[in-house]
Amino acid sequence: MDLQLTGKTALVTGASRGIGLATVSALRAEGMRVVAAARTITPELKATGATGIAVDLSAPDAPARLVAQAEEALGGLDLLVNNVGGGDTGEGWAGGFLTFTDEQWQETFELNFLASVRTTRAALPHLTRGGGAIVNVSSTSALTPHAGPIPYSTAKAALTAFGKGIAEEFGPQGVRVNTVSPGPVRTDMWESPDGYGAEVAKAMNVSQEELLAHLPATAGMVTGRFVSPSEVAALIAYLGSPLAASTTGADHVIDGNSVKTV
């Protein structure tokens, strides 16, 4: 299917791995010119042909600088993908509410919520010029907060609400805003030996391999497997395309039906 994205421009954050890297690859395959932002520009990201910009978006002034660099590199902006975030910090993240410090709450909100708020604020003047689109990558943890570390789940819930609000405000100016909420995705968050998955396995007193083998069923995923990054990327690409011209203000869950509520 031709998504009619050839020659259009995109900025993707959190682009070095997982969903972000898959999204950059999908958009490049559709003929888009892409600026890819990440703390580290990996060889895999370089191989996509995107313009990589190394940046830590948890710094308050970084998003505005990134958008200015992207605008200069691309000469305009049609799509912003707010993918930056993290729930894979590992040690100390498998505990309950009382185990989290103010610093952990602040760091989690800076990366998973405020980075997207600031990047969106900087990008909107460019997006409103030509009727652009924004896709925010949230999580089903926003819908089932008990399923993940509570600072992460709460930050993602704020991001989902944020997308709904700006869709209403900027829709009349031609900007579409949608949210994508994946369930468990086969990424480093679960697979890294020092990531969140390893910490959960340790807390449950099982091996990480055993956790990964049984988690889809335990999470109620009727597909019996993790979501793949490429599946999420395909949905993001569609939502950013002219084919989704009447789709805005929606939260698109991609989770193998693990969330059972309507």
Residues tagged active-site: 152
Angle at 13 between CA 8 and CA 16, to 5 degrees: 105
Burial of residue 76 (CB within 10 Å: 0-12, 13-18, 19+) is middle
CA distance 190 to 193: 8
CA distance 30 to 4: 8
| CB-CB contact of 179 with 160 (8 Å) | yes
Please name every residue paired with 69 in a beta bridge, in sequence order, or none if there are none. none
| CB-CB contact of 84 with 37 (8 Å) | yes
**What angle separates helix 150-170 from helix 115-130, to the nearest 10 degrees?**
20
